[in-house]
Chains A and B, each alone.
Chain A
Amino acid sequence: SYELSQPPSVSVSPGQTASITCSGDKLGDKSAFWYQQRPGQSPVLVIYQNSRRPSGIPERFSGSTSGNTATLTISGTQAVDEGDYYCQAWDSTTVVFGTGTKVTVL
């Protein structure tokens, strides 16, 4: 079955840039999506179709893909950006979520 791997955790200082990677076989040939889940809350879509931001998502969130890796970048990270982040893709007939990355703003 298809798998998406993410680093378990990423730490970042306020105002700095956080990068979260998502690796999967031929991921660059697919669309990648990203969700933010703040503690105790439902997930929220922050990036769709690799690099597009839904309305209401701050410009500091951006996405890119290259080869087998999709990357979510948070520029000028703020304390409110703490939480878990999940990538997601579609493989054949199945939605696959990544393993999740906990972002800590120190």
Chain B
Amino acid sequence: EVQLVQSGAEVKKSGESLKISCKGTGYDFANYWIGWVRQMPGRGLEWMGIIYPGDSDTRYSPSFQGQVTMSADESISTAYLQWSSLRASDTAMYYCVSASNNGEGWYFDLWGRGTLVSVSS
């Protein structure tokens, strides 16, 4: 079955670092872009960026450039999203998505179940 399996919920404190993961199964992970989408409590969807696991080509949303780091290890079909110093405002659900491009832009045709990150101040 084609799916994206995300790591479990995290409870952290401000200033701590964090790395969450997303493992792709049932397809050729290295050759499909992976994206990350944030959803803050009670709020809408926000695109964070995308990464191509095959060569780690990464495109960040201007809103998240410098705030997070995306990476991938194609040998274990896993993508990562990490923070060096968390803030309370990072509290949110983070979705891993499979990104496709129809020549007119990116869209997300497969979503993980999300990783809930809670950060206390």
Say yes or no: A43 contacts B45, CB within 8 Å.
Answer: yes
Question: Contacts A42-B112, A43-B95 given: A90-B105 contact, CB under 8 Å?
Answer: yes
Say yes or no: A48 contacts B112, CB within 8 Å.
Answer: no
Within residues 86 to 121 of chain B, which ones have a CB less than 8 A from any CB in chain A?
Answer: 95, 102, 104-109, 111-114
Question: Contacts A43-B95, A97-B46, A97-B47 given: A90-B111 contact, CB under 8 Å?
Answer: no
Query: Which range holds the interface residue count of chain A?
Result: 20 to 34
Say yes or no: A49 contacts B102, CB within 8 Å.
Answer: yes
Residue of A35, A86, A95, A97 contacting most chain B CB atoms (<10 Å) = A95
State the CA gap A24–B8 with chains docked (Å).
Answer: 36
Within residues 37 to 91 of chain B, which ones have a CB less than 8 A from any CB in chain A?
Answer: 37, 44-47, 59, 61-62
Contact partner, B111, options A43, A91, A94, Cβ 8 Å: A43
Within residues 29 to 46 of chain A, which ones have a CB less than 8 A from any CB in chain B?
Answer: 30-31, 33, 35, 42-45
Say yes or no: B104 contacts A35, CB within 8 Å.
Answer: no
Closest chain A CB from B14 CB (angstroms): 27
Q: What is the size, in residues, of chain B's interface with A at 8 Å between Cβ atoms?
A: 21
Question: Contacts A42-B111, A42-B112, A42-B113 given: A95-B106 contact, CB under 8 Å?
Answer: yes
A77 at the interface (CB under 8 A from B): no
Within residues 52 to 106 of chain A, which ones have a CB less than 8 A from any CB in chain B?
Answer: 54, 86, 88-91, 93-100
Chain A residues with CB under 8 Å of B114's CB are 42
Query: Whose C-beta in chain A lies nearest to the C-beta of B44?
Result: A100
State the CA gap A95–B105 with chains docked (Å).
Answer: 8
Interface residues of B (CB under 8 A from A): 35, 37, 44-47, 59, 61-62, 95, 102, 104-109, 111-114
Pull 13 A–B residue pairs with CB atoms less than 8 Å apart, ordered by A. Answer: A30-B104, A30-B105, A31-B105, A33-B108, A42-B113, A44-B111, A45-B107, A48-B102, A49-B102, A88-B107, A95-B61, A97-B46, A97-B47
